[in-house]
Amino acid sequence: MKPIKKYFSLKTLLGIVIALAFFSILPNLPNILTPYLRVVLIFLFTYVILAESYDIFSGYSGYSNLGHGSFFGLSAYLVGILLGGLRGGYSPVFQPALPLPVAIIVAVIASVAFAAAISVPYFRLRGAYFSVASLGLVLLVYYLANNLRPFTGGPEGLHLPGHGEASTLLAYYLLLPAALASVIINYLVSKSRLGLALISIREEEEVASEYGINTYRVKTIALLISAALAGYAGAAFAYAIGVVNPTGMLGLEIALAPVVMTIFGGSGSFSGALVGAAVLTVIQEALYTRIAYFHLFTYGVLLLVVGLLAPGGVVRLRGLKKLFKPPE
C-alpha cells in the first residue's frame, strides 16, 4: 500500500476509479451513447494511448520519435493478418485466423521487437538527427504494407471477418483501460529513476553519461515501453475499425498525430499529452462533421498558430499552468 500512497493521493485514486466507472457504464446507456459517439471515443482512447506513449520516450528524453506511428501500424497489420483478414483480389499466402487475445499478444511483442531492432541503427544518431531519420520508419512500414500484397492486401487492405457492432463494443473495453493505464504509466515514469535519467539525457546527454547513466539502455527501455503501448493501441484499434489499410493505419495524418498532439498539449508531462489528444480529437471531429471543405486546412492553421504562440504547449500557457502543474 505504501508505494501507491507515495505516488497517488486518495483524491487522485478516487478520480481514476470514477473515470473508469463512468466510461465503463457509458456504452451501456444506448440513449446517450450513439454508435457514432462510441467510435469517437474509440478514436479518443487510441489517440490518448498514442500521445502518452510517444511522450514516455520522446517527451522526457527530447528525442522526437517521428516514427512512433510505425509501431502502431505494424501491430494493426499483424492483427489484421493473424485474425484472417480478407484481402480483396489477392489470394492470401496464409490465412491463420487466430483467436483475438493471441493475435494482440503476438502483435504487441512484434512491435516491441521491431522497436528493439530499429533502436540499434537509429540510436547511433543523436538529438535532432534522430528525429529527422525516424520519420522514414513510418513510410518504410507503409510501403511494405502497400507492396507485400499477398500478406496485406495492398492498397485496399484487409477486411476483418465477422466485424460488427459487438467487436466495436469489445474494442471499446479493450482500449478504455489501456488509455487510463498509459496516462498512469506516463505519470509513474516521470516520477521514477527512469524518468529522471531520460530528463537528464534531454538536458545534456554527455554529462548524463559521465554521471554514470547508461544512456543507451535508458533510451532503449523507454522506447520499448512506448512501442508496447503503441502496439497495443494499434492492435485494438484495428479490431475496432475492422478495415486495415495503409492510409488508415499508416497515413501521415495518423502517424504524426501523437507527435502533434503531444507537442500541442505540452510534451514531457502526462497532462500535456492527455490534453493535446483530447482537444485535438474533439476539434478534428467537429471540423470533419461541420465543415464541408477545408477541414484539413483549418486543422493545419490551428496547429500552426498554437505552435507559434504556445512554446511549451497548451498546459504551459500562463492561465492554465496552475491547473495542470506541468513540470518545466
* Chain positions contacting other proteins, by CB under 8 A: 62, 64, 66, 118, 120-122, 124-129, 131-133, 135-140, 143-144, 146-147, 202, 205-206, 252, 256, 259-260, 263-264, 267, 293-297, 299-308, 311-312
Sign of CA dihedral 201, 203, 205, 207: negative
CA angle 147, 152, 155 (to 5 degrees): 60
Residue 242 forms beta bridges with which residues?
A: none
| Residues with Cβ within 8 Å of residue 253, at least 6 apart in sequence | none
Smallest separation (angstroms) from other proteins to the CB of 253? 8
Nearer to other proteins, 27 or 154 (CB): 154
Smallest separation (angstroms) from other proteins to the CB of 134? 9
Smallest separation (angstroms) from other proteins to the CB of 233? 20
For 294, left (φ over 0), alpha (ψ -120 to 50), or beta? left
Radius of gyration of the chain (CA): 20
Sheet hosting strand 86-87, strand order edge to edge: 86-87, 158-159, 243-244
AA letter at 136:
G
Copy the grid coordinates of residue 106. Answer: 503476438
Nearer to other proteins, 124 or 191 (CB): 124
Nearer to other proteins, 155 or 161 (CB): 155
Smallest separation (angstroms) from other proteins to the CB of 191? 21
Smallest separation (angstroms) from other proteins to the CB of 81? 19
Identify the DSSP state of 270: H
| Residues with Cβ within 8 Å of residue 324, at least 6 apart in sequence | 266, 269, 271, 272, 275, 315
Smallest separation (angstroms) from other proteins to the CB of 146? 7
Smallest separation (angstroms) from other proteins to the CB of 36? 24
| Residues with Cβ within 8 Å of residue 93, at least 6 apart in sequence | 150, 151
Smallest separation (angstroms) from other proteins to the CB of 113? 15
How far apart (Å, rounded) are the C-alpha atoms in residues 42 and 65?
24
Strands 158-159 and 243-244: antiparallel
Nearer to other proteins, 30 or 121 (CB): 121
Nearer to other proteins, 75 or 267 (CB): 267
Nearer to other proteins, 146 or 271 (CB): 146
Identify the DSSP state of 314: G
- Contact of 240 with 100, CB cutoff 8 Å: no
Which of helix, strand or coil describes residue 87? strand
C-alpha 93: how far from chain center: 30
Nearer to other proteins, 211 or 297 (CB): 297
